[in-house]
Each structure stands twice: as C-alpha cells, then as structure tokens.
Chain A
Amino acid sequence: MKWATRSAIHIDRAACAWLIRRHVDADAEFVFVADSAGVPTDATPFDMRGVDLSHHHGDCSFETILRRYEITDPVLWRIAEIIHEADLDDERYNAPEAPGLDVTLRALSMVCTDEETLACTSRIFDGLYEYYRRATLLGREPA
C-alpha cells in the first residue's frame, strides 16, 4: 500500500512511518509531498492537516494511528508518550527522553534526505522498542 506525508519529515512522521511498516502494513511504500494537494489518489495520507491519521484532540499522529488500528501494546504507548512530547512539548506526559530525541531528529534531517532519515530512524525506533520492552518486563530500566 502507498502512504503519503509531508516532506522534510520530523519526529512524528518518522515514528509513524516506522509504526505503519512494523505494525500496520509490512509492504508500506512512502511518498513525500510538499502540500496535501499533492497526495496521490491511491495513497493514505498521514500527519497532514485535515486528514484522518493526523493530530486529533491534542493527540499527535503516532497516537492517532495507535487508536485507529486499535493497537494496545503498552511498549508502543510508552514510545507514543516520547513522540508526543518530542513533537508537541506540551507536558501531557513525563518523557525526559523527548528533548534528546527531538534534537537527534532535527540534526539528522539537516544531513539526510527523507528516505535516509527513515532508514536511520527505523533502527533507532527498533532499538527503543526493544529497550522499553525489556524495561516493561523488568519493571526498571534495562542495563
């Protein structure tokens, strides 16, 4: 399936793309557009104004996708808190990791194309998933 989002991706879009490929559509193909008018008709748009898989009622797009696809994995919801704070910084959650991840993504986007950023961050999110999976099992931060 084809998925479309705004170009010059940042934390929420990078995390959404990873989430879509990992948990929604393993064969997902991503298209980056400058404006919502440029979304191909056969693509599902996300993290753009006026589309369903986007910010709603204070949620970031990552949280919206989790809700729409009824994903209840507590590890993904823990990651959602970090993405939310890195993206919106509204202190809805306590996520001290967020400012660091936000800077990492901003920095990456300065030296990477959107495709490269996706490739890079997909491994970062794989790692974060494993980290918080272990943390959930252990009930404390893994070594």
Chain B
Amino acid sequence: MVVVLVWCAGAVCREVLGVVMARSSDPAGTGQWVLLSYRLPREPSTPRITVWRKLKRLGVAQLGDGLIALPADARTREQLDWIAEEIAEAGGTATVWLAQPATLAQERDLATAMAAARAEEYSKVADQATAANALPDTERERTVRRLRDELRRIHRRDYFPPSERDTARIAVENLAAPHTGAHAAKARR
C-alpha cells in the first residue's frame, strides 16, 4: 500500500516501513529540508535548555553538534526562524538554511530515524492506554484526556507517520469507549 501525501512542493510516498520520497524537479529526487545551525554559550544554561526543549517538541532530527533538520514547510521554516531569533537574543549565533539531501538513501535514513522516534512515543501512549483499562471510570476518563493531548502533541511533530500511530489512536479510543471501542476501531480500518 502506498499513501501519497502532499508535502512541500513535492509528494511524499509512504511505504509500510521505509519512507521513500519522490521529487521529480531535481536529479537526486530528494525533498527540501530546513536546517538550523546554532551555537549557544554554555552558561547560563537556561536558554540552552529552553531551546533544546523547543527543538525536541518540534521533533527535529539531530544531524550533528548544533545542527538540526526538519522537512521544510511554511510552519517548520517559521518555527526554526523564531528559535534562531531566540538563540541570537540569548547571546548565541544561529543561521537557517534550506537544503536537500544529496542522495535518496540519506534522506530515507533520516526519515526512518524520525519515524522510529515517533513510533516509540506512540507505543508509550498505547501501553499507557492499555494499562489504564483496569482503572475505575473517573481515573480512566482523566487518562483518556491526558493521552489524547499527548497524541495531539506527537502528531504535530510526526512528519513520517509510522504504523504505531494507528495502534496508539485505537488504544486510546478503546479506553474512551471500552464497550464499543474495539468494534468502532475495526469498522474504521
């Protein structure tokens, strides 16, 4: 099964495991990425931690020391612009770049690593949802709200959705409606 999603100006084809990107406009066939290269003073450590938390929240790929990447779109470009601004205000230096991986294999490795990081996050949500099935109603409802929020956050930084995404969604929906959930989840497939 190949799902085609519109991404940037090109198209992203998602396979069940690997991620292959097709872009006819350039020889390598790779997509456009936005890179942030930055340096921040070691002290004070608060801005370093703030920046790192923000980057983590965006689900960036770490390419090297002080070099991170995201698939380029209007939102990711803008977010990295603002983080660059914040780094400059904290006494650091930052530049934002648009780049293409030189080979498809390189891009695939990057995307696979990002998908694996999200898969791990989704699996944690699914495990927590399953474990919460045994809880009393009120606690179960509270867990549903918390996990739905968590799913939304992961979703925002999920650029190459792994299959664990559906597993986690179904686990949380089953927790929300324990008697009808399994049925509904089956019907949606």
Question: Do A and B share a complex?
Answer: yes
Residues of A within 8 A of B (CB): 8, 10, 49-50, 54-58, 88-90, 99
B57 and A90 contacting across the interface, CB-CB below 8 Å: yes
A55 and B82 contacting across the interface, CB-CB below 8 Å: yes
Least Cβ distance of B83 to chain A in Å? 9
Given A90-B54, A99-B152; A58-B86 close (CB under 8 Å): yes
Least Cβ distance of B6 to chain A in Å? 11
Contact partner, A49, options B54, B74, B84, Cβ 8 Å:
B84
Given A8-B74, A89-B156, A90-B57; A54-B86 close (CB under 8 Å): no
Q: Which residue of B lies closest to A89 (CB)?
A: B156
Least Cβ distance of A32 to chain B in Å? 14
Interface magnitude class on chain B: 10 to 19
Residues of B within 8 A of A10 (CB): 74, 78
Interface readout for B101-118 with A: 1 if CB under 8 Å, 0 if not?
000000000000000000
Give Cα distance in the complex from A49 to B85, angstroms: 7
Residues of B within 8 A of A54 (CB): 85
Number of A-B contacts (CB under 8 A): 25
B86 and A57 contacting across the interface, CB-CB below 8 Å: yes
Q: Which residue of B lies closest to A60 (CB)?
A: B82
B152 and A49 contacting across the interface, CB-CB below 8 Å: no
List the 8 closest pairs (A to B, CB-CB), nearest first: A55-B82, A49-B81, A55-B85, A49-B85, A57-B89, A8-B74, A90-B54, A58-B86
Give Cα distance in the complex from A88 to B50, angstroms: 13
Q: With A49-B84, A55-B85, A57-B89 given, name 14 new contacts (CB 8 A).
A: A8-B74, A10-B74, A10-B78, A49-B81, A49-B82, A50-B85, A54-B85, A55-B86, A56-B89, A57-B86, A58-B50, A88-B79, A88-B82, A89-B156
Residues of A within 8 A of B50 (CB): 58
Residues of B within 8 A of A (CB): 50, 54, 57, 74, 78-79, 81-82, 84-86, 89, 152, 156
Give Cα distance in the complex from A54 to B85, angstroms: 10
Of residues B57, B84, B85, B86, which shows the largest number of chain A Cβ atoms within 10 Å of its Cβ? Answer: B85
Give Cα distance in the complex from A57 to B90, angstroms: 8
Residues of A within 8 A of B85 (CB): 49-50, 54-56
Q: Which residue of A lies closest to B156 (CB)?
A: A89
Give Cα distance in the complex from A76 to B57, angstroms: 27
Residues of A within 8 A of B74 (CB): 8, 10
Give Cα distance in the complex from A102 to B84, angstroms: 22
Residues of B within 8 A of A49 (CB): 81-82, 84-85
Least Cβ distance of A98 to chain B in Å? 11
Residues of A within 8 A of B78 (CB): 10
Least Cβ distance of A135 to chain B in Å? 22
Residues of A within 8 A of B81 (CB): 49
Q: Which residue of A lies closest to B57 (CB)?
A: A90
Of residues A8, A49, A54, A99, which shows the largest number of chain B Cβ atoms within 10 Å of its Cβ? Answer: A49
8 contacts between A and B (CB under 8 A): A10-B74, A10-B78, A49-B82, A49-B85, A50-B85, A55-B82, A89-B156, A90-B54
